[in-house]
Amino acid sequence: MDSRLSRRIKRASPIVGSVVIWGCFQTWLLNQWFGVELNLSAYDALISVNWIVLSCALLELIISRYTPKTSKYQFVFGLSLVVAWGCYWLSYQTLEILDKLNVDYTLFFQRSYPIRVGANFLIACGWSMTLLFRKQVKELEESASHQVATEALVKEAELQKLQLQLQPHFLFNSLNSINALILVQPSKAREMVQQLSDFLRATLRRADEQWITLAQEVTYLQLYLSIEKVRFGHRLEVRMNLDEQIQLWLIPPLLLQPLVENAIKFGLYGTTDKVVIDLHTQREGDSLSIEISNPFDEDMQPVEGSGFGLSGLRRRLYLLYSRNDLLTIRMEENKFIVRLILPEKY
């Protein structure tokens, strides 16, 4: 309450100061230029100032509660003109009630109405425009704040949607692998089910986390690879060259798994040979570089899938870093190479 009152006083200080200055000037003007007695000049100025101050308070109440959506400035000008005439009329009535008017001063007061009304209008209009400007600035700030909050909610919702999409995507692929092993190698199918259960349990514990360390992500990746190795056995080899100094680097969860899954899909599916997938991480300035490569036969038809892996990863990176250049793909010497650059998270 005290802070609100202090803000109101601070906001009203300029107009009160302006009105007081005008009152002093009016007293001097009536006394020195028009020869009105100092006592009567002071009464006239004091009464006019009081009505102007009260009118400004009324203007603040009206404008803060209501302004039309269109023709705002016309509304302010019209309202200020009504207030200016009202102050003039009320000042006259007050002087009359206090018995401060005589015939000569009554005629003088009436003849001076253009100047009085004009001065009242300028004060009221200036105050009203100031109030309108402040209200519009506040509305713009609230609108911008609301837009930022809405965009943040939309962004968070999309990230959660992508996260939820990733789990079924991986789960369906794993279940297909388990299905393929049930009849021919039931013991491996049971082992794969157990590995899948461990992986899902570990990832669900981190479901609400937006950032994890590189070391934690590598742990998740190893759980995933334990599942795939049950199916592919000695045919799958993943060589990891990890920089120990960046193990605590913060990255989005489940970032490496879809990249390695993509490497397995393009490297192992459709061949019976042993395939080596290389994973290399290192620090490059203020960024983390992750590179995953796998053998790739250009004559081999791409394996059909949901297409979510890389496209979903690109979208997540854009939402988190607001950049489209963090994930690049190239092919050289029969190798499919995915390069990921992650800026440092502060």
Whole-prediction pTM: 0.54
How far apart are the C-alpha atoms of 95 and 263, rounded to whole Å? 93
Residue 155's pLDDT is 63
Residue 279's pLDDT is 93
Burial of 298 (0-12, 13-18, 19+ CB in 10 A): exposed
Task: Give pLDDT tens digits for 258-279.
Answer: 888 888 877 776 666 788 899 9
Task: Give pLDDT tens digits for 117-162.
Answer: 888 898 889 888 888 898 888 888 887 877 776 666 566 655 555 5
How far apart are the C-alpha atoms of 280 and 288, rounded to whole Å? 11
Residue 306's pLDDT is 40
Tens of each residue's pLDDT in the chain, 346 residues: 456 656 666 666 666 677 678 778 777 877 777 777 787 788 788 888 888 888 888 888 888 888 887 888 888 899 999 999 998 898 888 888 877 777 778 888 888 888 888 888 988 898 888 888 988 888 888 878 777 766 665 666 555 555 555 556 567 777 887 888 888 888 888 888 888 888 778 777 766 677 889 998 898 888 888 888 877 778 888 999 988 888 889 988 878 888 888 888 777 766 667 888 999 999 988 899 999 998 876 665 544 444 446 777 888 888 888 888 899 988 887 888 999 999 987 6
Please, what are the domains in the chain?
2-146 (no CATH), 185-343 (3.30.565.10)
Specify whether the CB–CB gap between 64 and 131 falls below 8 A. Answer: yes
How far apart are the C-alpha atoms of 83 and 293, rounded to whole Å? 78
Residue 85's pLDDT is 92
Point out which residues pair with 336 in neighbouring strands: 294, 331
How far apart are the C-alpha atoms of 255 and 226, rounded to whole Å? 17
Q: Locate tokens 């605590």: which residue?
A: 248
Residue 305's pLDDT is 46
Point out which residues pair with 240 in neighbouring strands: 279
Specify whether the CB–CB gap between 31 and 91 falls below 8 A. Answer: no
How far apart are the C-alpha atoms of 168 and 165, rounded to whole Å? 6
The 10 Å CB-count burial string (b at 16+, else e) for 196-217 is beebeeebeeeeeeeebebebb
Residue 165's pLDDT is 54
Between the CA of residue 329 and those of 8, 9, 210, 339, what are the distances in Å? 60, 63, 25, 6
Residue 12's pLDDT is 61
Burial of 81 (0-12, 13-18, 19+ CB in 10 A): middle
Residue 346's pLDDT is 64
How far apart are the C-alpha atoms of 324 and 346, rounded to whole Å? 20
